[in-house]
Amino acid sequence: MSALREPRADLAREGGPRGEGASRNEASELRVVLAVARKDLLQELRSRAATVATLFFSAVTLVMMGFALGREQAVLNLAAPGVLWVALAFAGVISAAQNFQSDLEEGAFEQLLLYPVPRAAIFLGKLLANWLYLTALGALVAPVAFVLFGVELGAAAWYVVPATLLLGTFGFAVIATFYAGLTANLQAREALLPVLMFPVIVPVMLGAVRATEAVVGRSDAALAGGWLQLLGGFGLVYFVVCSALFHFVVDE
């Protein structure tokens, strides 16, 4: 419980009387967002519950698919982007579910809802923590996947792959955070979360895989740019919708 005291104290200070003016309110809400994200990241750094599970799952997925696909390089080049994003998707489900589960077990989420702060600020804080975690995980897993599958990256990969990781993990984190909150109090949440999430994240997965494919074995920056625009567009739509609906989810 000590891991949560300092961030919660930050939240308590933000729950005081509102300052005058819109700029002060926005600054106050920003501090709430950062305090929630800090709480979640500190909690994970000290418990490492999701980190161990996601790293193990990602490693097993990459190794098993590497053996299953054989040694034909053309096949490996085609499969590597899909395998990479499937590993990140399932790892993201584990991470988001563990995030809310830890809060519920320790009563932290109920305390967050008692503070007089916008529900959207809580959502944004949890989203920020999940996004940073998934981005860091992708930065670790992607080089391992490319080396394991022996793929050659095109000249545009140095900026296309990081941009794809940032936009892809953002869109995925938005949906994962929203649906993890939706299913947090359900008995079958572990089974329901991927069932509800995966149909919605199909555009994000498709865009991320195609953008990565555009720089594997070639360097088609124009093609990658089109898929990155798709990723950014869907991420923005998901962000606006989920932020607006989150208070209905947690207040039920």
Residue 208: predicted pLDDT: 96
Residue 175: Cβ-neighbour burial (10 angstroms; 0-12, 13-18, 19+): buried
* For range 18-38, the mean pLDDT: 73
The overall average pLDDT reported for the chain is 85
Rounded to an integer, what distance in angstroms lies between the CA atom of residue 16 and that of residue 63?
Answer: 51
Q: What is the pLDDT of residues 90-118, one digit of tens each?
A: 888 888 888 888 777 777 777 877 877 88
Distance CA 45, CA 29 (A): 24
pLDDT band with cut points at 50, 70 and 90 for residue 5: very low
Nearest partner of 46 among 107, 92, 93, 5, judged by Cα: 5
Q: Give the residue numbers spanning the domain of 51.
A: 2-251
Indicate the number of domains in the chain: 1
- 143, with CB counted inside 10 A (0-12, 13-18, 19+), is exposed
Q: Average pLDDT for residues 69-87, to the nearest whole number? A: 90
The pLDDT of 188-217, averaged and rounded, is: 90
Point out the least confidently predicted range of 104-108, 182-186, 231-235: 104-108
pLDDT band at 252 (very low <50, low <70, confident <90, very high): low
- Residue 10 reports pLDDT greater than 70: no
pLDDT above 70 for 190? yes
> Three-class SS of residue 116?
coil
What pLDDT is recorded for position 18?
A: 45
pLDDT of 73 > 70? The answer is yes
pLDDT of residue 102: 76
